[in-house]
Structure 1
Amino acid sequence: MITSIFNKSKIINLIIVFFITLLAFVTARTNIINETITPVFVFNQLSAFFICAITILVFNFIVTKNNLTKSNSYEILLFSLFFLTLVQTTNHTNILISNFFVLLGIRRIISLRSQKNIKSKLFDAALWIAFASLFYFWAILFFIVIIFSLFFYADNSLRHWIIPSIGVATVFSIAVGVSIIMYNDYFEIFNSSRGISYDFSVYNSTNYIVAITMLISFGIWSSIFYLQNIKKQKKDLRASFKIVIITAIIAFVVVLFAPDKNGSEFLFLFAPLAIIITNYIQTIEDKWFREVFVAILFIMPFVLLML
């Protein structure tokens, strides 16, 4: 039943996805229900939800525009279900903004396959990822995706290798200028934690264990088939599919490095995992198994809400 609903791209699917996202958003804020309601509080909450919603729309655009999945709505369904699986990801605005900028950067990277406006796309990608690192330092690791894209898409022109550095330098200059104006200090704006923590004790709870196990197990299982199917893709799409798997690996490293383990760091994994798992769902020939697979992914987040 679930597969028949999301097997096509329909407006009703977006409504369901936004409802699930709203549920995740509200659930994550049950502990602040007694806070004083002020215009600033309302604005902050609406802004956070708007970022969640626009992230899903941008993600859907990236996937559809670049043919990263077939014409269905599984990827945005999974993205919203991941929000519900780890509702903490909606709580930290800095990471929401950082992830949004990373997606904009990945969008420009994948669009390199057209071989048009390569210089501007490389500059934009570096610019967005650099902005992302201002809100969450370890997002800078996604700069590695740009390096891989140079091997996949661009020629050996020295200019193509220099341009991303110019994008980063541009953001650095802007950030320093803003820091001087706002804080009367050159580097006060660069206050995102640069530490690394390997203390995973915060994940030692039933909700975290079940949620993380589900994400990683389904992700690894789907990745095996995803990697096998890359060669079956059209030649001009193979690099894009490789970019997705590289992004997933880097996102996992960001999770490992996260200085403050609170669950929100998994947000960077949502987009690549949704694409990878969707591609696996599309390869399942047995209708009953596909239905069961999707049903588990759909039901588990709601079960976690009751734990």
Structure 2
Amino acid sequence: MLTRIFATSKPLNFLWVSLYLFLVFAIDWFYTCKRGYTLWAVLEFLAMSGLLIFSVLLVDFIVRKNELSKKNSFVVLGYVFLLSMLAISKLELTGVIAHVLVLMAIRRLISLQSLKSVKKKLFDAAFWIAIASLAWYGAGGNLLLVFLGVLIFDASDYRNWLVPFFAILAVGMIYLAGFFLVNDQFPQYFQLQDWRFDLSEWKNMQTAWPTVYLLILTVIMIPFYWLGYRKIMLIRKKRPLFIVLAAAVAWIIAIGVQPATNNSVVFLVFPLAVAVANLTERNQQRPITEILLWAFLLLPFAARMVI
């Protein structure tokens, strides 16, 4: 049933997955979250709900524009299921904002394969990620994706390697100017604290369970996704290679950004969704695929009953 419904790309599918995500988020927020029912809490809930639903629309646009799957809604479905596995109430508004901005950067980077307006796309991608790092500092690690994009799609022009630095400089100048206008002074220099590997937050099941779940999916799905393109010429493997490397960068951020939080693992959701969808559309006629999709659908609710 699910495979038949989402085997096509229809606006109604977007409505279904958005309602599902909103339902899971509402359950998280009002039953497991301790933020209360203040006006600010309600406004924060509405803002995060709107951003999460917008991210679904953005993922759908990225997939259709760059042909990351066939004409179906499996990527959007996988994205919502994986996002729902996170304890969304443990996410911060700044982390969700950073996630959406990074998706906007990925949209520009994946389109580099057309080799049109390469420098503009690189500037835009680095610009969005730099702004995302102002919202949540860990998002800055996604700048690796910009340079990997240059390496994969157009490494021959040395100027492409310099463009991201100009974008970062532009964001830095805008930030300093804005800070000066608001505070009538420039930000003070600060001393970096000693970095230490802190996994204390992962002792919390609401953080540990989704992380282990995403790790298992990465180990299983990413190799199958890459092997699915083994018969395609190398020149056409560039986008799949970028998705694989995006998952690798997301894990670097998840492990390297301390202390570990759900904000750290949210960047894994998009590349894993593409991998899951690719495997689904290649096996959609098999009964096991339908069973797995239903398991994905019910698992977020089952996890919340146990945790």
Deviations 1:46-100, CA, capped at 9 Å, x for gaps: 2211111111111110011101112211211122222321133673111111111
Asked whether the equivalents of residues 89 and 264 of structure 1 are also in contact (C-alpha less than 8 Å), the reply is no
Going from structure 1 to structure 2, the CA distance change for 1:22 and 1:139 (only over 3 Å counts) comes to same
Which deviates more, 207-216 or 4-13?
A: 207-216
User: Higher mean Cα deviation, 232-241 or 121-130?
Assistant: 232-241
Match of 1:201 in 2: 200
**TM-score, scaled to structure 2:** 0.89
Evaluate the alpha carbon distance shift between residue 194 and residue 28 of structure 1 in structure 2; reply closer, same or farther with a 3 A threshold: farther
Aligned to 1:73: 73
Q: Unpaired segments of 5 or more residues in structure 1? A: none
Query: Secondary structure, in 3 states, of the residue corresponding to 1:232?
Result: coil
In angstroms, what is the RMSD of aligned CA positions?
2.5
**Structure 1: distance between partners of 2:195 and 2:225:** 30
Tell me: CA distance 1:294–1:41, structure 2 relative to 1, closer, same or farther (3 Å). closer
CA distance in 1, matches of 2:18, 2:196: 33
Matches of 1:63 and 1:158, distance apart in 2 = 29
Question: 1:260: which partner in 2?
Answer: 259
Kindly state the Cα deviation for residue 161 of structure 1 after the two structures are TM-superposed: 1.6
Give 1:201 shift.
3.3
SS at the partner of 2:228? helix
Encode CA deviations 1:111-150: one digit per residue, 9 max, x unaligned: 1111111111111111111111111222222111121222
Q: Return closer, same or farther for 1:232/1:64 CA change in 2, 3 Å cut-off.
A: farther
Question: 1:234 offset after TM fit, Å?
Answer: 6.1
Instruction: Answer yes or no: is the 8 Å Cα contact 1:17–1:77 preserved in 2.
Output: yes
TM-score, with length taken from structure 1: 0.89
Size of the aligned set, in residue pairs, is: 304
Structure 2, unpaired ranges of 5+ = none
Contact residue 83 and residue 90 of structure 1 kept, 8 A: no
Matching residue of 2:101: 101
**AA of the residue aligned to 1:68:** L
Distance across 1 between alignment mates of 2:196 and 2:281: 37
Mean CA deviation greater in 214-223 or 25-34: 25-34
Q: SS at the partner of 2:70?
A: coil
The amino acid across from 1:136 in the alignment is W
The answer on whether the counterparts of 2:74 and 2:281 sit within 8 Å (CA) in structure 1 is no
For residue 71 of structure 1, give the secondary structure of its aligned residue in structure 2: coil
Q: Quote the residue 1:244 is aligned against.
A: 243
Q: Is the 8 A contact 1:98 1:135 kept in 2?
A: yes
2:139 paired residue number? 139
* Alpha-carbon distance between aligned partners in 1 of 2:147 and 2:226, rounded to the nearest angstrom: 20
- Partner residue of 1:182? 182
CA contact (8 A) 1:112 1:118 kept: yes
For residues 194 and 89 of structure 2, the distance between their equivalents in structure 1, rounded to whole angstroms, comes to 20
Secondary structure of the structure 2 residue equivalent to 1:157: coil
CA distance change for structure 1 residues 278 and 84 in 2, over 3 Å: closer, same or farther?
same
Deviation at 1:209, TM superposition (A): 4.4
Residue matched to 1:282? 281
Using the alignment, how far apart are the partners of 1:104 and 1:90 within structure 2?
A: 23
Q: Which residue of 1 aligns with 2:270?
A: 271
